């Protein structure tokens, strides 16, 4: 099935959490023939000096441990523009208390469209624990979208 719907994952720097969620979601959605794909962006307005490359080593290692070859492993972080929201049917910010104020300040007209998860950044939670939360949330999201897609196909 061709991916026609898109989910936008947001974190602060588009280096760790949102990139991991994007790659994991795309892998699972493709395996499920879901008709959804993901992309990710950062809410910060400038590159972080703590991001020494395209994607967090912790995210890469966790994906590799799941035998997922990240399609965007060499893409450097990209920062959110208003137009990104027009491309997404679903928007997920990875940390409510961190990202809600950023979205409300930079993109107040779309703030009500965003679903917030609760995944801490590297300075607050070990990657194994944070990425496990993303694993669970992405699996839940895939199941929800599968159910919605199946229902829509039964009741066109």
CATH superfamily for domain 5-154: Response regulator (3.40.50.2300)
Strands annotated E in the chain: 5-11, 36-42, 90-93, 114-116
**Domain locations in the chain?**
5-154
Q: Work out the pLDDT band at 150, boundaries 50, 70, 90.
A: confident
Does the pLDDT of residue 1 top 90, yes or no? Answer: no
pTM of the model: 0.93
Our measurement of the distance from residue 78's CA atom to the centroid of its chain's CA atoms, rounded to an integer in Å, reads 12
Mean pLDDT rounded to a whole number for the chain: 91
Alpha-carbon separation of residue 151 from 29, 144, 145, 155 (angstroms): 17, 11, 10, 6
Instruction: Tell me the angle at which helices 57-65 and 17-32 cross, rounded to the nearest 10 degrees.
Output: 20
Average pLDDT over residues 8-33: 96
Does the pLDDT of residue 149 top 90, yes or no? Answer: no
């Amino acid at each position: 099935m061709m991916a026609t719907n898109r989910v936008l994952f947001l974190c602060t720097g588009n280096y760790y959490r949102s990139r991991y969620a994007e790659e994991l979601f795309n892998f699972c959605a493709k395996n499920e023939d879901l008709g959804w794909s993901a992309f990710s962006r950062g809410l910060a307005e400038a590159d972080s000096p703590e991001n020494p490359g395209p994607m967090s080593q912790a995210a890469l290692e966790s994906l590799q441990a799941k035998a997922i070859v990240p399609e965007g492993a060499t893409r450097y972080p990209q920062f959110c523009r208003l137009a990104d929201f027009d491309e997404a049917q679903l928007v997920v910010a990875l940390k409510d208390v961190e990202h809600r104020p950023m979205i409300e300040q930079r993109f107040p007209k779309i703030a009500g469209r965003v679903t917030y998860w609760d995944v801490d950044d590297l300075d607050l939670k070990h990657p194994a624990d944070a990425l496990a939360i993303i694993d669970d949330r992405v699996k839940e999201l895939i199941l929800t979208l599968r159910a919605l897609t199946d229902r829509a196909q039964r009741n066109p």
